């Protein structure tokens, strides 16, 4: 009979947190992942060796780490490499990647879409088109279903 | 191949009888309809109405001619034909969520039901009480069980579930069978033991379908992250995964020891090959689109089509594949799991298609291009590679 009409705080409680059957994903220790080597990638870009730079930036993806900074740095680095390419070279670069590389590239592309900056979307869309023809819709499905992503 | 359009409702699931003269389907409602083949047509012969919720699984035992159905009403019924009428027997599964999948064991003395209650109910008939009894496999399943398949030894059970894992359990019931011999999957098999667990590890998707090969040594599953995976129990436990470039597959089936057919949201069955080293490769799509779409439509036909659809353009929105919507189930039509000659697919478009391999699909095969579609569907020609 007595209703507390003042407080609506109960609406902010996340009841799923208290569910004893709540699914907890396997913990994968990703604290040691540091992301791609910035110095190496920067020097390769300066040298103009863009294919190598792409391979280098796809190494050590910070997938399992909880450190948001590492992920942001990796994404910024990836964007730098992708923007450095000439449009005509993008297709060749995508062909040089293996299946896992294309999937990883797709993950970075969609991560880049989340925080658009000047001109980034245009570059990313060009890369997206080429990556799609290489990886098919399956690579996009894997971006959507991946629970731990870059 | 030949396509039969049953209704416009999705076919949730289907099951064939032993000689493939009858098919039991559920048109996305609480009922099971049994159709009898007469000539080239399918005629409805029975309607099985007992469930209170959508039917989610049907399986027809070929030797004992019993049908088991399970539904969203948390129940399963075993149906037997008496005097031309199908009579149901309720099976208490003791689950508090919907059942999702049901399969008879190879010897047909038990069946397993997967459910949203994060457990598998293995049911067997207790003759003293004249009653079906269920035993639960709970640990370590963390989410809905989507699909099950029995190993040929009648004891092992593979389960794919929404916790991104595919597991092999032992469903050994001492009341109805002898202790099984050792298998590549393990030798100690008390009821509910997990003999193998694959998948998860931070990636992967819901495991939609699992299938044992006819020897039971290989296990294949398809997952929502557009992958097909095969593991060979005799060669250690490293699964071989193929990341496809298609939309996720929903159903998978071994059609020989080395070949796997899978179909799903791309509305087209696909063939994969698993070689002796255990690695998986994509062979081809099995539905070749119309080679020529430009046939000369007369002006009269064009206007008639526009009238029929009330459009102002002559645009064809039909898919190029035979099925116009996702395929949800693949089953063997002719042959068995070691050598399948024809298989059948049903899907959300309400159509059932029977696909024909003219020759064995084990060696390299090149499919000829199809030129025209005849009234009964063309027969695919094959020739072995040079």
Q: What is the pLDDT of residue B292?
A: 39
Average pLDDT value for chain B: 86
| % of chain A at pLDDT higher than 90 | 31
| % of chain B at pLDDT higher than 90 | 67
Stretch A57-79: mean pLDDT: 85
Q: Torsions phi, psi of A17, nearest 5? A: -65, -25
Predicted confidence (pLDDT) per residue in B249-279, tens digit: 999 999 999 999 999 999 999 999 998 877 8
Contact A148 B203 (CB under 8 A): yes
User: By CA distance, what is B243's nearest residue in A?
Assistant: A138
Q: What is the pLDDT of residue B313?
A: 63
Indicate the pTM of the whole model.
Answer: 0.85
Chain A segment 9-68 residues within 8 A of B by beta carbon are 21, 23, 25-26, 28, 63-64
Stretch B94-118: mean pLDDT: 95
Q: What is the pLDDT of residue B377?
A: 36
Q: Are B20 and B39 in contact (CB under 8 A)?
A: no
Q: What is the pLDDT of residue B139?
A: 86
Q: Are B172 and B153 in contact (CB under 8 A)?
A: no
CA A125 to chain centre: 15
CA B329, B335, B338, B341 dihedral sign is negative
DSSP-derived letter for residue A42 is H
Predicted confidence (pLDDT) per residue in B161-202, tens digit: 999 999 999 999 999 999 989 999 988 889 999 999 998 766
Query: Taking the CA atoms of chain B, what radius of gyration do you get in angstroms?
Result: 21
- With cut-offs at 50, 70 and 90, classify the pLDDT of residue B294: very low
CATH code reported for the domain at A34-59+67-145: 1.25.40.190
Q: Who has greater pLDDT, A1 or B102?
A: B102
Q: What is the pLDDT of residue A43?
A: 87
Q: What is the pLDDT of residue B275?
A: 87
Q: Torsions phi, psi of B364, nearest 5? A: -65, 135
Stretch B365-385: mean pLDDT: 32
Q: What is the pLDDT of residue B382?
A: 35
Q: What is the pLDDT of residue A11?
A: 85
Stretch B207-219: mean pLDDT: 94
Q: What is the pLDDT of residue B77?
A: 96
Does the structure show a pLDDT above 80 at B288? Answer: no
Q: What is the pLDDT of residue B201?
A: 67
Contact B226 A137 (CB under 8 A): yes
CA distances (Å), B214 to each of A25, B41, B89, B183, B335, in order?
34, 32, 31, 14, 12
Q: What is the pLDDT of residue A25?
A: 73
Does the structure show a pLDDT above 80 at A137? Answer: yes
Cα separation of B304 and B317, whole Å? 16
Q: What is the pLDDT of residue B362?
A: 35
Chain A residue numbers touching B203 (CB-CB < 8 A): 146-148
The answer to whether A132 faces chain B, any CB pair under 8 Å, is no
Spans of all domains in chain A: 34-59+67-145
Does the structure show a pLDDT above 80 at B371? Answer: no
Q: What is the pLDDT of residue B208?
A: 96
- Residue A95 CB neighbours (<10 A): 11
> Measured between CB atoms, which of A21, A99, A145 is closest to B225?
A145
Chain A residue numbers touching B227 (CB-CB < 8 A): 142
Does the structure show a pLDDT above 80 at B302? Answer: no
A64 burial (CB, 10 Å; 0-12 / 13-18 / 19+) is: middle
Chain A residue numbers touching B142 (CB-CB < 8 A): 23
Cα separation of B301 and B178, whole Å? 67
- With cut-offs at 50, 70 and 90, classify the pLDDT of residue B149: very high
Stretch B78-107: mean pLDDT: 95
| Residue B163 distance to chain A (closest CA, Å) | 8
Q: What is the pLDDT of residue B290?
A: 55
User: By CA distance, what is A21's nearest residue in B?
Assistant: B142
> Measured between CB atoms, which of B142, B202, B246 is closest to A136?
B246
- With cut-offs at 50, 70 and 90, classify the pLDDT of residue A132: very high
| Residue A135 distance to chain B (closest CA, Å) | 6
Task: Give the ipTM.
Answer: 0.83
Stretch A30-46: mean pLDDT: 79
Stretch B26-54: mean pLDDT: 94
């Amino acid at each position: 009979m007595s209703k507390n009409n003042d407080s609506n705080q109960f609406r902010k409680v996340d009841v799923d947190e208290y569910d004893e059957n709540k699914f907890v994903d396997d913990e994968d220790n990703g604290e040691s992942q540091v992301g791609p080597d910035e110095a190496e990638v920067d020097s390769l870009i300066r040298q103009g060796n863009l294919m190598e730079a792409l391979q280098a930036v796809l190494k050590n993806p910070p997938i399992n780490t909880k450190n948001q900074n590492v992920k942001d740095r990796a994404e910024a680095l990836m964007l730098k490499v992708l923007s450095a390419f000439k449009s005509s070279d993008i297709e060749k670069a995508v062909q040089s990647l293996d299946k896992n590389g294309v999937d990883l590239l797709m993950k970075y592309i969609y991560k880049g879409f989340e925080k658009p900056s000047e001109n980034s979307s245009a570059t990313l869309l060009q890369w997206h088109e080429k990556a799609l023809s290489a990886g098919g819709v399956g690579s996009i499905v894997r971006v959507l279903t991946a629970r731990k992503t870059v | 191949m030949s396509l039969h359009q049953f209704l416009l409702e999705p076919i949730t699931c289907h099951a064939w009888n032993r000689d493939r003269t009858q098919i039991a389907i559920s048109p996305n409602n609480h009922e099971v309809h049994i159709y009898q083949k007469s000539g080239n047509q399918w005629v409805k012969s029975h309607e099985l109405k007992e469930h209170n919720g959508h039917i989610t699984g049907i399986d027809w035992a070929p030797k004992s001619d019993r049908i088991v159905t399970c539904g969203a009403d948390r129940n399963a019924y075993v149906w037997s034909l008496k005097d031309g009428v199908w009579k149901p027997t309720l099976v208490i599964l003791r689950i508090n969520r919907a059942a999702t999948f049901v399969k008879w064991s190879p010897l047909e003395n038990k069946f397993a039901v997967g459910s949203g209650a994060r457990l598998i109910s293995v049911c067997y008939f207790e003759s003293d009480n004249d009653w079906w009894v269920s035993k639960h496999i709970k640990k370590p399943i963390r989410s809905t069980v989507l699909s099950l398949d029995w190993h040929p030894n009648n004891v092992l059970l593979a389960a794919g579930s929404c916790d991104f894992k595919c597991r092999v359990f032992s469903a050994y019931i001492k009341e109805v069978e002898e202790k099984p011999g050792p298998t590549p999957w393990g030798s100690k098999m008390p009821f509910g033991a997990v003999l193998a667990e694959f998948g998860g590890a931070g990636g992967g998707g819901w495991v939609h379908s699992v299938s044992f090969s006819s020897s039971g040594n290989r296990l294949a599953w398809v997952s929502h992250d557009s992958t097909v995976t095969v593991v060979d129990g005799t060669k250690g436990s490293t699964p071989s995964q193929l990341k496809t470039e298609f939309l996720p597959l929903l159903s998978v089936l071994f059609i020989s020891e080395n070949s796997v057919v899978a179909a799903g949201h791309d509305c087209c069955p696909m063939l994969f090959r698993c070689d002796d080293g255990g690695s998986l490769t994509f062979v081809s799509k099995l539905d070749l689109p119309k080679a020529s779409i430009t046939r000369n439509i007369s002006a009269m036909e064009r206007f008639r089509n526009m009238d029929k659809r009330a459009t102002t353009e002559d645009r064809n929105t039909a898919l190029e594949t035979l099925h116009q919507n996702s395929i949800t189930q693949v089953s063997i039509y002719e042959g068995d799991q070691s050598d399948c000659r024809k298989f059948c697919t049903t899907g959300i478009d309400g159509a059932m298609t029977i696909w024909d391999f003219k020759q064995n699909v084990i060696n390299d095969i090149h499919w000829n291009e199809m030129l025209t579609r005849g009234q009964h569907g063309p027969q695919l020609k094959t020739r072995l590679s040079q």
